[in-house]
Copies of this chain bind each other. A is one copy, B any other.
Amino acid sequence: MPAAPVPRAEQRRRTQDRILAAARKLFAENGYDRTTIRAVAAAAKTDPGLVMRYFESKEKLFARIAVVDRHEPVDGTPEQVAELLLASLGEKVTAEPAAALAAIRSMFTHPEAAKEVREAMLAEQRQAAGTMPVPDADLRTGLIGALTLGTVIGRYLLGLDGLRDAPPEQITALLRESFHSIVHGDPDGPSARSE
């Protein structure tokens, strides 16, 4: 007597979770286009039809997965802002969030993913820019965002030699001075340092 007949609600939750996990993994590894509903279903040991039933469409499934989490508002002096942005990079380099990787990997070919990444970066950018009273604040904060993105890509998506297995603290240590110089460096280059 199989006395433990798994309740239907729980059964459903389990399969949905398996599908989400498989989707996260496959989207992160192969990007949107190269990930098929059939592959997700297979990896989740289910049927493509079920994936459709639970998540409506491939698009919706991807949207459910590929979220880049926005961090809390930054504020303070430019130096503090630089330090905060650096810390946020540290988290990203430490955590390896499959969801963000899925979005980043797909952002060049999938419009929705590009929008997701762009908006997350712009949100960060606007807030940081507000604390900088220089005319080219947009450029500076955008640059820092780009550098952050480049670092994450180099480490996780390209696996560059020096970056792949470096301890996060070492990476952030090397970038600390960079971030600071960009945030409050003088606009005409480093030739005239006032500090």
Contact = CB atoms under 8 A, between A and B. Distances in A.
B178 A182 contact: yes
Contacts of A170: 136, 139, 187
Contacts of A181: 177-178, 181
Interface of A: 30-31, 33-34, 104-109, 114, 117-118, 121-122, 125, 136-143, 145-151, 153-155, 157-158, 160-163, 166, 170-171, 173-178, 180-182, 185, 187-190
A138 B155 CA distance: 12
Contacts of A154: 142-143, 145-146, 149-150
A172 B124 CA distance: 22
Contact of A34 (B33, B177, B182): B33
Contacts of A108: 31, 104-106, 108-109, 157
A142 B114 contact: no
Is chain A's binding surface mostly helix, strand, loop or mixed?
helix
Contact of A162 (B143, B173, B174): B143
A52 to B, nearest CB: 22
Contact of A177 (B138, B141, B160, B190): B190
B190 A180 contact: yes
A187 B146 CA distance: 23
Contact of A153 (B34, B149, B188): B149
A171 B149 contact: no
A105 B114 CA distance: 12
B182 A174 contact: yes
A30 B108 CA distance: 8
A174 B140 contact: yes
Contact of A118 (B145, B158, B175): B158
23 contacts: A30-B109, A33-B109, A105-B108, A107-B158, A108-B157, A117-B158, A118-B160, A138-B161, A139-B170, A142-B154, A143-B154, A146-B151, A146-B154, A148-B150, A150-B150, A170-B187, A173-B189, A177-B177, A177-B178, A177-B182, A177-B189, A178-B178, A180-B190
